[in-house]
Structure 1
């Protein structure tokens, strides 16, 4: 099984590193069955992350994003200013909108259509897909500041830390990347592996994972 974490210019480093560390640990606990790699739509390259100050982090994509590899494709959000002139500064909405205008857009469309691929997102990663027209009618979550944008693009916002909509799994703000990755390990390898990684990192998942099943709550 593969887990491809997609790098793009302006990515949020924590959205990448948190699930990467959790999934690498999970791979170790299952004897290396899970192959985790950093990829980009343009192939191997150094990718400059976003920043709110003067110290951007660069990470190396070691392979091309392959929308046919069985497993997970994980899209992070972006990091940068929120309130600024988008004609002068690469704000978070600008960075996320650019994602769909690159080669990543059609590749992610293929990934979402592939029966052996589950697409996952952290924070604004769901907005990047939504603004590319890829989440119409899908249940999803994002950072709370982007909920209205998510809804405006045709997605169905769900107020849960992790939202599991089958072949689409989305998570809220940046630290939820830890919870997302633990849920993916639980889905693929079971709770023993997820608990082993939780113990390893001295971290416990937060909240109830939303899935589209069960009784609907009644008004009280």
Structure 2
């Protein structure tokens, strides 16, 4: 199983590193079952993050034909007005960084990923906003950082107040630290609960909250 974690200019480092370390630990706990790599839409390059002088190296190009799991992080920077994509923003704000990512080849590659049967797309924090602003997840239940839920709704996605939302081939995580929970859930889903539990113990981190799925009876109003 190949997991490609996407880097774009201004990515949030923790959105990348938290799930990367969890999934990489899963690959050590299940030798040969999982491979994790950092990629970009452009191919191998140094990719600057959005949180100070931090960059990571993409070692390959995002390839929806080969990947089994594609994980998209959010951006890091001044918040700006996430509820209004037309509001004036400074060049380093999260809305501006996400907007620039949409001007690259990334949206087309993510569309290919979502269109390919058997491939799962996952996001952390503002990663779901990248998909939503590209018009790729209209009508689908997703989560993001709580400050970005209005923008999700504005794009036609269905914002869910949950730590992790599983909509089959689309699995989304909420705020930045949810990357740990998302990574552990993906390990449980793809490699089984014993692998996920072993990594959970290694990281001394217990997953928070119930993973939301559109299944079971609809709750009555309290």
TM-score by length of 2: 0.95
- Per the alignment, residue 92 of structure 1 pairs with 94
Aligned CA distance change for structure 1 residues 190 and 201 (closer, same or farther; 3 Å) = same
Gaps spanning 5+ residues in structure 1: where?
A: none
- Per the alignment, residue 42 of structure 1 pairs with 42
Task: Report SS of the residue matched to 1:120.
Answer: strand
Task: Report SS of the residue matched to 1:101.
Answer: coil
Gaps spanning 5+ residues in structure 2: where?
A: 82-86
Distance in 2 of aligned mates of 1:80 and 1:191? 35
1:106 maps onto 2:103 in alignment = no
Distance in 1 of aligned mates of 2:191 and 2:220? 34
Conservation of the 8 A alpha-carbon contact between 1:69 and 1:116: no
Q: How do 1:118-129 residues align onto structure 2 when only pairs under 5 Å count?
A: 118-129=120-131
Aligned CA distance change for structure 1 residues 139 and 88 (closer, same or farther; 3 Å) = closer
Task: Report SS of the residue matched to 2:120.
Answer: strand
Distance in 2 of aligned mates of 1:91 and 1:24? 30
| Alignment deviations for residues 4-52 of structure 1 (CA, whole Å, 9 cap, x no partner) | 000000000000000000000000000132010000000000000002x
Distance in 1 of aligned mates of 2:88 and 2:30? 45
- Per the alignment, residue 195 of structure 2 pairs with 193
TM-score by length of 1: 0.96
1:68 maps onto 2:65 in alignment = yes
Deviation of the 1:155 alpha carbon: 0.2
- Per the alignment, residue 84 of structure 2 pairs with none
Q: How many residues align?
A: 217
